[in-house]
Structure 1
Amino acid sequence: MKDKLNLFSFKGKYRILHLTWFAFFMTFVVWLSLGPMMPFIQQALSLSEQQAKVLLILNVAMTIPARIVVGMLVDKFGPKIMFSSILVLGGLVSIAFSWMQSYEQLALLRFLSGFIGAGFVVGIRMISEWFPAKQTGAAQGIYGGWGNFGSAGAAMLLPFIASSFGEIDGWRYAIIIASVLAIGYGIFYYFNVTNTPKGSTYFKPKKIGAMEVSSYSDLVLYILMNIPLYLSLSLLTWKLSPEKMNIISSNMEFSVYIVFAFVFVFQVFKTWTVNAQHLKNSIPKQYQYKFKQVAILDWAYLVTFGTELAVVSVLAMFYVDWFELPKITAALLAGVYPFINLFARPGGGYLSDKYGRKITLVVLFFGITLSFLTLSNVDKSWSIHLVVVLTIVGGIFSKAGSGAVFAMVPLIQRRLTGQIAGMAGAFGNVGAVLFLTANSLVDYDEFFMLIGMVSSLVLALIIIFLEEPKGHMTEILDDGTVEIIKLN
């Protein structure tokens, strides 16, 4: 009898799916609580517009390296302890943030809290352990789509809670309540899940500190693929510099660049040491994979998730600036965008399971490209109804694309799933930084044009170089026996 997804079940793997997407949901409530709370914080502490913008930037900065590190740790220690730890520690940091009094304290704690956004990576490994390849796309899509809705949950609930407590300290109580709930759920999660189904083995990488690759050419590509991560962090630093927001001094800016250069050199050294002996020996076939698959999925997620974060950030102002809609109306129309995640991301994963990983990505990226290139031709004479429909269509394609990307991520190399997911997740944040920075420098039509152009380039990479996962993966159990994991 064919095993069909039964989302109304709360037994076995479905229980793990529901518990895990809600864990992801809670991390996003805590992490992205800053956006809806910012008007309250700004008023209560008399922050300038510039100071508020800097806090929003700092909120995402740490997430980029954190997703890489958490990806390594989850492969080593397992998703059970990692998700629980992120929820508990993230909640404690968020509570500390809520009681800070000076702007400097707020900025430091908000920067540190960025690691909470890395929780997404943990669930990718957990779901891949519990669901077979033929269902992993739909399951990962539900996990990502429903968990991502935590941002909407924060936006809908926290302002109401803050208002009920009063204008001065209401934001503090709202954040504390969300954080306490996250801590409680983190403890609950630890005692109610296991890393794998009973009798299954949790495969770990031989070494931690860098991803194991299968050839010297893959090693070079892996090193090169880390450069965009440092460039995006440098871009954030530049936005804080005297040339832009004038939040940090020139000396501080230069010092940060030096630190980034030092860390990159150290990472290259660590990557080489992890892989040197590994590559000298004959690599068993079951441990071989093509890193180009990882690289293409990284760039694909840069487009899909980067577009999602960037567009949802600017959509309301786009409607106001270009079509002179009332702010409330614009906010309501823009609020449709996050809701798309509830069905679009699972839909992208489901289509990948049913019709194939590569063909689904090709179709969805064609849709992203066409949607945003069309939006780049919008002018102020266009019907607002048509423009809203176009933005929703673009959102459906981009969010379904995110689901399709992570339908394939767990099928590259099982024991490295956390690291592969971490790198792809980090590239998603890089995309958000890239597109939001572009939005601050150009007009909306050029912003949409950039998304369409980058999407078209990634579409070409997918068509030419991406390979459909076929056959099976094999892993060696601790007792030396071989486990076969079917991919299609």
Structure 2
Amino acid sequence: MSRQKFDLLSFTGKMRILHLTWIAFFLTFVVWFNLAPMLQALRNSLGLDQAQVTTLLVLNVALTIPARIVIGALTDLWGPRRVYSGLLIVSALPCFAFAMADSFTQLALARLAIGFIGAGFVIGIRMISEWFPTEELGTAQGIYGGWGNFGSAAAAFTLPGVALWIGGEDSWRWAIGLTGALALIYGVVYRAAVRDVPEGRTYFRPRTATAMQVTSKTDLLLLLAMKLPLCIALGALAWRLREVELLSSAVLQAVCSGLLLLFLCDTMLTLRANRLVLTGEVPALERYSFRQVAILSTLYFATFGSELAVVSMLPLFFAETFGLSPVSAGVLASAYAVMNLMSRPGGGWLSDRFGRRPTLLILTAGLAAGYAAMGLIGADWPIWGAVAVAMACSVFVQAGEGAVFAVVPLIRRSLTGQIAGMAGAYGNVGAVVYLLVYTLVDTATFFFVIASTAVLGFVALLFLEEPSGEISEVAADGTVTRIRVGLRA
């Protein structure tokens, strides 16, 4: 692959793939977050109460937890081109269903299904890692993530205006349905316009896609422990649905039993996929440190998890705190997400230039301070002050996300989709946890809780190793085929 100049204005070679892929990610976020700016109109149209509104917010991010694990594995197995296009096309269907819903139950089921599109992020992580060299990877991943995440801001400040232009009680339906149509069309375009790897390169697949492979017994235990919170978060969601009487007690028990069975089955598959670890010793050249995956997942819990939660509630928070209209509140709240355009690429660039670990330490400390400041926002604040604090906080949050995924592709290329899926799933676990907290406490406490978890992430970061050295990349048949930069085992 030629090392062409990193020129954002170019639309050829690797830059063409970057642009086409961030646009795909952008559209997934437009669809995923078309709910927040429409909440007031939707609530008035269908007469929803506050408990139902907050439940929809939690449902919006719930299914993305298992979806990111599944989509990550499918990406490694089938390639990002087919998986991304398929996800965009299929996810348009629940989007249309949500736009046509006329009861809370229909809204809840459609919103739960729409959450699957949030898994699109991990697909692009693998695609970008195939097209860019290591020294540009942090910047490229930051641009992909940041410009794609901007879809939530675009939804916040455009959809209320679209609904106002259409007019009428059902205008919110047309605005949301439009986002599904865009995803459907672009899914077809993306499949025809990209390829998984540059010409002449091999697409490395894992030996098995049923479970992530690790290279030591300690890492195997850590992997199993890391999967337990994913099931607990889904159980907490089921409990929330019982609280708003969307599920009966019998169904709640069945869901919890099913989650336990799912965890046991997944444990068996994980043990089967890692038989070599249990029966022998993995060759030194094939080892990698899964502990780094756990640390990065913890950080993504605090960074992306908090962003999802805050983006979901911020328009309504601004509207209720300062007495704003839906359009005004949506525009102001979008200031939090709009920083993605610069912050997330900036986090990746800083990581490429100054090192992964130092950059993450500084950014995590900043986001903890930022959320503590947001917890002080009240009706006596000037609106410009509240917006300024939200924007400053978002800089650290989103730059931290970019810095996290400047490390993820450097762990093991053939497992990039699964590793990104694990870290991404923890981002959604964070969103579910934070939004459940939001349903139980006041807004100030909500922000202080996020700040506290960021401090825990900072402590975990102290054990992260700076990427260095060289490790082998192993093909699906077990052949050692090339050497690349990676993380010390």
TM-score (norm 1): 0.92
Kept after mapping to 2: 8 A contact 1:287/1:413: no
**Unpaired stretches in structure 1, ≥5 consecutive residues:** none
Kept after mapping to 2: 8 A contact 1:236/1:433: yes
Where does residue 359 of structure 2 map in the other structure?
360
* Counterpart residue identity of residue 415, structure 1: S
Q: Report the Cα offset of residue 141 of structure 1.
A: 0.6
Kept after mapping to 1: 8 A contact 2:154/2:334: no
3-state DSSP of counterpart to 1:226? helix
Identity %: 46
Instruction: Give the distance between the partners of 1:74 and 1:145, measured in 2 at CA.
Output: 21
Instruction: Give the distance between the partners of 1:476 and 1:392, measured in 2 at CA.
Output: 43
Where does residue 287 of structure 2 map in the other structure?
288
3-state DSSP of counterpart to 2:472? strand
Where does residue 394 of structure 2 map in the other structure?
395
Where does residue 163 of structure 2 map in the other structure?
162
Where does residue 461 of structure 2 map in the other structure?
462
3-state DSSP of counterpart to 1:191? helix
**Unpaired stretches in structure 2, ≥5 consecutive residues:** none
* Counterpart residue identity of residue 467, structure 2: P
* Counterpart residue identity of residue 416, structure 2: T
Q: Cα–Cα, structure 1 residues 177 and 80, in superposed 2: closer, same or farther, change >3 Å?
A: same
**Structure-to-structure mapping, 1:229-248, within 5 angstroms:** 229-241=230-242, 244-248=243-247
* Counterpart residue identity of residue 24, structure 1: F
Instruction: Give the distance between the partners of 2:375 and 2:106, measured in 1 at CA.
Output: 41
Q: Report the Cα offset of residue 101 of structure 1.
A: 4.3
Matched, 1:474 2:468: no
Deviations along 1:160-219, one digit per CA (max 9) or x if unpaired, are: 333444424433333333222211211111111111111111111101111000111111
Instruction: Give the distance between the partners of 1:175 and 1:37, measured in 2 at CA.
Output: 8
Instruction: Give the distance between the partners of 2:167 and 2:54, measured in 1 at CA.
Output: 24
Q: Report the Cα offset of residue 159 of structure 1.
A: 3.1
Q: Report the Cα offset of residue 89 of structure 1.
A: 0.7
* Counterpart residue identity of residue 293, structure 1: Q
User: Which deviates more from structure 2 when the two are superposed, residues 203-212 or residues 384-393?
Assistant: 384-393
**Structure-to-structure mapping, 1:241-390, within 5 angstroms:** 241=242, 244-316=243-315, 318-319=317-318, 324=322, 326=324, 331-376=330-375, 385-390=384-389
User: Which deviates more from structure 2 when the two are superposed, residues 368-377 or residues 344-353?
Assistant: 368-377
Where does residue 228 of structure 2 map in the other structure?
227
Aligned length: 484
User: Which deviates more from structure 2 when the two are superposed, residues 61-70 or residues 41-50?
Assistant: 41-50
Instruction: Give the distance between the partners of 1:175 and 1:413, measured in 2 at CA.
Output: 38
Instruction: Give the distance between the partners of 2:147 and 2:406, measured in 1 at CA.
Output: 15
Deviations along 1:218-265, one digit per CA (max 9) or x if unpaired, are: 111001111111121122122222xx3233222222221111111111
Q: Report the Cα offset of residue 376 of structure 1.
A: 4.7
Kept after mapping to 2: 8 A contact 1:474/1:484: yes
TM-score (norm 2): 0.91
Instruction: Give the distance between the partners of 2:384 and 2:179, measured in 1 at CA.
Output: 36
Deviations along 1:311-362, one digit per CA (max 9) or x if unpaired, are: 333445555666x464566554332111111100000000001111111101
Matched, 1:446 2:445: yes
Instruction: Give the distance between the partners of 1:107 and 1:438, measured in 2 at CA.
Output: 19
Where does residue 428 of structure 1 map in the other structure?
427
3-state DSSP of counterpart to 2:294? helix
Kept after mapping to 1: 8 A contact 2:472/2:480: no
Instruction: Give the distance between the partners of 1:471 and 1:182, measured in 2 at CA.
Output: 41
**Structure-to-structure mapping, 1:156-195, within 5 angstroms:** 156-195=157-196
Instruction: Give the distance between the partners of 1:182 and 1:380, measured in 2 at CA.
Output: 38
* Counterpart residue identity of residue 391, structure 1: A
Matched, 1:152 2:153: yes
Deviations along 1:413-436, one digit per CA (max 9) or x if unpaired, are: 110000110111111111112222
Where does residue 62 of structure 1 map in the other structure?
63
